[in-house]
Amino acid sequence: MSATKTVLFATDFSEPARRAFVVARKLCHGPGDRLILLHVLRPPSPRVKVGRSVISVPPGARQQEARTALNALNVSEAGVEVERLIFEGHTVEQILRVALEHRCDWIVLGSRGACDSEDRQLGSVTSQVLRRAPCPVVMVGAAAEPATVALDPVPGAHRFSAEPTSTRHRRCAVPPE
């Protein structure tokens, strides 16, 4: 493994994504590490129904809103390079494309799910990324406590090392506390 790493944090700005951001920041702690903050916009609909009215969404308004939210994500770790990206399209495809193009060592995602079924528990985007990712994926559940998320093995717990030591632990879930 190289001395520096590239971490892709894909966000929808939800509460689980905010918790996942803490984990992404913990993975990037050394000089030369790269943290890519990604938000994917769904293709625009020319009109949006609001109550009983149908309104047109101004071009660029969604992009500006996403840019403002990405810029609000503070990365204060010394020496960590931060890149903020916004793309439009299919969320899973864009996450996988960015991970490949930037040769990411990790993908970090939040997951809102709380049901027993795997697809519902992991969410459709998270589930698909976990299945198809070219690198290890860290999924942070909706109830995870960001301040106590461990990135090193904890005896008896279902937590995994933040360092990908083998393909056996390519996909890691950080369970709720």
Q: What is the CATH number of the domain that holds 68?
A: 3.40.50.620
pLDDT of res. 155: 36
| Bridging pattern class, strands 81-88 and 34-41 | parallel
Domain that holds residue 169: 6-174
- The neighbour count for residue 88, using CB atoms within 10 Å, is 13
Number of structural domains, the chain? 1
User: What is the per-residue pLDDT for 59?
Assistant: 62
Count CB-CB contacts under 10 A for residue 156.
6
User: Which residue has tokens 């047109």?
Assistant: 56
pLDDT at 124: 79
| 21 part of a folded domain | yes
Does residue 51 lie within any of the structural domains? yes
Q: Is residue 95 within 8 Å of 39, Cβ to Cβ?
A: no
From first to last of the 177 residues of the chain, give the pLDDT tens digit.
456 899 999 999 999 999 999 999 999 988 889 999 999 998 766 666 667 777 666 668 888 889 999 999 988 877 899 999 999 999 999 999 999 999 999 999 998 764 444 445 445 788 899 889 999 999 888 764 543 444 443 333 333 334 333 333 344 555 444
What's CA 46's distance to the chain center, in Å? 28
Within a domain: residue 43?
yes
Residue 33 lies inside a defined structural domain of this protein? yes
- Residue at 1 is within a domain: no
pLDDT of residue 61: 80
- Specify whether the CB–CB gap between 106 and 27 falls below 8 A: yes
pTM score of the predicted model: 0.73
